[in-house]
Amino acid sequence: MTDDASPTLGTGSPGKAARRAQRLSNRYGAQSRPEDLEWAPAVETMLAHRSVRAFTPDPLTERQLATIIAAAQSAPTSSNLHLWSVIVVDDAVLRERIMDLADSPNQSESFAFIRRAPTILLWVADASRNEEILTAAGAGTGSLDHLDSFLTASIDTAMAAQNAVVAAESMGLGACYLGSMRNLEAALCELLTLPRRSYVVVGMALGRPDPARVGGIHPRPAQEAVVRRNLDPAPALESWLPAYEEAYAAFRASQGLDGRTWRQAVVRATSRMYMDGRGDMRGAVEQQGFGLA
């Protein structure tokens, strides 16, 4: 095993040990945290993840893009059905038309970075190829009318997108997911001339991070908040939330952000106003031919 792949926090050079300790500190703050991880290079990349909203103007190279797509295609795919596509948006005019649909009167300032990202990827749940094959074979397409088919396509797409993020970050690039692409889903599908049985699951801003404007790493709840073993009951909210609120508050203070709590952030991010048109997602995906029975 090489030094770079040393499995525990205490092995390897002092510099590596300090870097890994910082990875855990950034991810969990002052909460309880695991002390002993298998520090494979991919794990280091994933623990260093942060959303990037400031990019240099450098465009992605075709080699970088091909690498990212190859990584996405290496994600699992249910029954080998390949239920996703990706649209690379690097045309300025098309980007502006997309942003006109996705922009939010509630968050216009925070959305401005999307217009400056070198590349936007639109990750599309896409069962259109399967429908074409079934129709040509005279096999019927009834199975595509069920909720499970919609979920399967959406899950496949999300896994591919996350593989792309990990690959991009391993190359020194940065990314930010864009749920705003669903703000006016039906209009976006029309603009992109998406085929029947496809819809945009999520967008992604992608590029090289601006070293002068590096954002922080959001802390996550301690592992005991999200892990259950067998039939153990779910942990009580108050058993972990106070410690997470402290980590959340420390992060926001370090970034010069307001003092809202995580509870308040949850209420805000799940409000009807915050959805910005996504309340009609069911109608949009049904219009695209997905059955939700």
CA–CA separation, 63 and 60 (whole Å): 8
CA–CA separation, 216 and 218 (whole Å): 6
> CB–CB of 60/173 below 8 Å?
yes
**Bridge partners of 178?**
203
pLDDT of residue 142 exceeding 70: yes
- Mean per-residue pLDDT for 199-221? 96
- Mean per-residue pLDDT for 100-121? 79
DSSP element (H, E) containing 120: strand 119-126
Cα torsion angle, 76, 20, 41, 48, sign: positive
CA–CA separation, 45 and 41 (whole Å): 6
Q: Quick one: pLDDT band at residue 110, thresholds 50, 70, 90?
A: low
Q: What is the per-residue pLDDT for 35?
A: 87
> CB–CB of 46/170 below 8 Å?
no
Question: Among 1-5, 15-19, 107-111, 145-149, which is the least confidently predicted range?
Answer: 1-5
- Mean per-residue pLDDT for 219-238? 97
pLDDT of residue 179 exceeding 70: yes
CA–CA separation, 181 and 276 (whole Å): 10
**Bridge partners of 119?**
206
CA–CA separation, 163 and 104 (whole Å): 28
DSSP element (H, E) containing 200: strand 198-207
Q: Quick one: pLDDT band at residue 20, thresholds 50, 70, 90?
A: very high
pTM above 0.75, yes or no: yes
Mean of per-residue pLDDT scores for the chain: 92
